[in-house]
Amino acid sequence: MNKSFQRIYFDPYLFFSLFLLSTLGLFFLFSASNSDISLILKQVVYVITGFIIMILVSQPDPDIFRRTSGLFLIFALLLLGITYLFGPEINGAQRWVRLGPFSFQSSELLKLAVPIFLANFLFDKKLPIQRKEIIFSLLIIFCCFFFVFRQPDLGTALIIACSGLFVLFLSGLSWSFIGGSFVLLIISSPFIWNILLQPFQRQRIATFFNPDSDPFGASWNIIQSKVAIGSGGLLGKGYGEGSQTQLNFLPETETDFIFSVIGEEFGFLGVLLLISIYLFILLRCFYLALSARDRFCRLVIGGLSLTFAANLIINLCMVVGLLPVVGMPLPFISKGGSSLLSLFIAFGIIVSMGTHKKFLPQ
């Protein structure tokens, strides 16, 4: 019998730090939702399910993910198509697909499928990567980005693009190409502004650069978020005592702006603790990536953990006023099953890639 059958693939560092993070998340969410018990219970179910799924996903050999990566991408795109055809429209956007009693945000799967697919496509290519491989990869990335962008869901689309670009970059994209495309991006920015962005997205960016232009309208959210965080001070106002949160001056406290709740009620020290936990998780992923058994695993761990990091940074920068407002939850803390489950799957894959070691032929 093979030894691996007796072994459970498990990374204690990641497991406990994620456990700490999601427990704190439930605790924060309770205050952010004005003590909505039923919401918390639902979230508890998601968290427990998430941990179980993470452990299950950690078990298969990385090769299985590699071999099924194409199918996975097609499945994810199919779900996206179903969403487009049958998904209900909520707040002017089609993002959800119903699977029996559950609804699921189909774009979440692409966050996983795109980096794994590209890692599989690129891991055995010779360095430096050839032009046609780059073009193929960019095409995949752009298509997935575009489908999600049209839902419209700019935040997730950006994250999906990031996830693919990270893998492309890590697999050895030449610097001259990177430089070239950067120049191209700047040149085409007026086109992006005028054609691709929806009016409300344009307005968000405009108010970001001039927040006093409309304090009760478009910039209300960001002003109130800054007031919430700023008034927290060093130690915060105390759990459940944040006036900005509890009196509803702060918008979207359960989702995008939950970090402001933490800032208001727990102050700078609370923020420091939270960011330390995130940093620890990222450093652990970094270590796993460097010590992974092969190029494919390295690329997948790198791609997924950097995607997670990008998700985190965009949310944080948005709520503290360093970036325009884009819909982006705070990972492991914000309300919502889809993003939470896809995060747990991602970390399950990271653990699988990071803990399976190649056995030398005996």
Q: How far is the CB of 165 from other proteins (least distance, A)?
A: 10
Nearest CA-CA partner of 252 in 32, 8, 30: 32
Helix 295-319, helix 337-355: angle, nearest 10 = 150
Cα torsion 67, 70, 72, 75: sign? negative
Question: Does residue 356 contact residue 362 with C-beta atoms inside 8 Å?
Answer: no
Nearer to other proteins, 47 or 300 (CB): 300
CB of 242 to other proteins, least distance (A): 9
Please state the closest distance from residue 109 (CB atom) to other proteins, in A: 23
Nearer to other proteins, 224 or 355 (CB): 224
Helix ranges, 59-215 (H): 62-67, 69-86, 107-122, 131-149, 154-170, 175-187, 189-191, 199-209
Residues that bind other proteins (CB under 8 A): 124, 127, 166, 169-172, 224, 226-234, 243-244, 247-249, 263, 267-268, 271-272, 275, 278-279, 282-283, 286, 289-290, 295, 298-299, 302, 306, 309-310, 313, 316-317, 320-322
Calculate the alpha carbon distances from 12 to 17, 59, 258 in Å.
Answer: 8, 14, 27
Q: Are 94 and 151 in contact (CB under 8 A)?
A: yes
Closest contact distance (angstroms) between CB of 347 and other proteins is 16
Beta-carbon count within 10 A of 247 CB: 9
Output the smallest distance, CB 239 to other proteins, in A. 17
* Residue whose CB is less far from other proteins, 225 or 342: 225
Give whichever of 46 and 166 is closer to other proteins, judged by the CB atom: 166
| Separation of alpha carbons 117 and 43, rounded Å | 30
**Helix, strand, or coil here: 49?**
helix
Closest to other proteins by CB, 196 vs 227, is 227
Q: Which is nearer to other proteins, 53 or 320 (CB)?
A: 320
CB of 316 to other proteins, least distance (A): 4
